[in-house]
Amino acid sequence: MYSCTSVHVYQFAIYSYIYFTMQIKKIKKKLLLQYLVDTHLALYIPNKVQIASLLLTQPTMLTTLHGINTTIQKSASVLQIVRSTSTFLLAAKTIMSASRGAATDITSKQTTPSIWNIVPMGPPDPILGIGVAFKKDPDTSKINVGIGAYRDDNGKPWVLPTVKEAQRRIVEKNLDMEYAPIEGLDSFNKAAMKLLYGEHNPLLEQKRIVCLQSLSGTGSLSVAAHFLAQYVKNKNVYVSKPTWSNHYGIFQTAGFTVSEYRYWDPNTNGLNYDGMIQDIQSFQENSIIILHACAHNPTGVDPTKEQWQGILQAIQKGNHIAIIDCAYQGFASGDPDHDAYAVRLFAEHHHPVFVCHSFAKNFGLYGQRVGSISTICKDHDEYARLDSQLKIVARRLYSSPPLHGARIVAEILNDPTLYEQWLQEVSTMANRIRSVRQALHDELKNLGSE
């Protein structure tokens, strides 16, 4: 059956009229067909322009959506006329007459402004937009310094050898593609917590860390934002100045007011530690503070261990809630344990914290969207309640996380041989990043830049 609006019926009648008028005048069908294609009637009529047969087999084409039921009720007399090819023109005129009133109404509706006229053009993403512009640039010597993705010496994406091996093993296992649970892959979550909090952390043994697999860093931050929006009265979120641009949008979308605390000192090209502490101490109680675990984005400047301890103390005094964005574990120093210092410090002091963990960078799984969100609980009752509510938030945001990337990470972290190899690969990437950064600095200095 063909479903057409009254606009199509009216068009159909007009084109039918034209068709048989042209037939009478012995104008070639080919000219008509081109006309119908140009006017899009071919979109509604299959088999090129089988107008007569379509009308004979589809009586519903003779009615409109504006209640012209009398057309069908009188279809017997109309179809008799239709079946007579020599008088088909009369049938077309009958349809046109019945549809004219409805078509007038439709024409007026077509001039009504679209409901989407209020939607403005959005700005391009400040980071991903650079990637789009990069692909369009025909210059063969171009270099993309916008998106934080690792490249080899030839400027090409690099798939870690451990990732290739893990994928090979996963394919051989012939695993299913069923939905993952809301919390994600259990083997991944356990491995992610060990990597982040330390394999022998007593909190793991006591089962006091809730962990859900999430959609990389953005997904885990979104889960944290929507959860906190429900249960925290203070709607103030503070981010470092500067910070990753998506921090603003994620928390503003969840209903928070996002402000900044001092972080980068342009005079020293380092951390403005005193200004940061002063700002944290001035925040209203129970504010939410977003911190970068390591390899601060975009400055690359991280607090020392002693400074982290001072930051924790300032946050504790204000009863603030910390969110630690851990997107580069292993990239800052080449050692994942060293880069997890801030996370383990907050865990050791049992301070309320959400850790948003991404595996995009350190595993090179940018397009697989692998991450986790975890938080520390004081007892099993709190664990059960937070676990249940975080799952509800995740269910509403994305239902369940993807499997393939999580399987790759779990395969590597849970296999001693692959894990040791991965540690070497992370160290190699971190060392190369530092050497390239130093080479860029030296070359800019040689060119007279200060």
Would you please indicate which residues are annotated as catalytic (active-site) residues?
244, 325, 361
Would the CA dihedral through 432, 409, 418, 339 be positive or negative? positive
Contact (CB, 8 A) for 207 and 383: yes
Please give the Cα distance from 211 to 184 (Å, whole number): 9
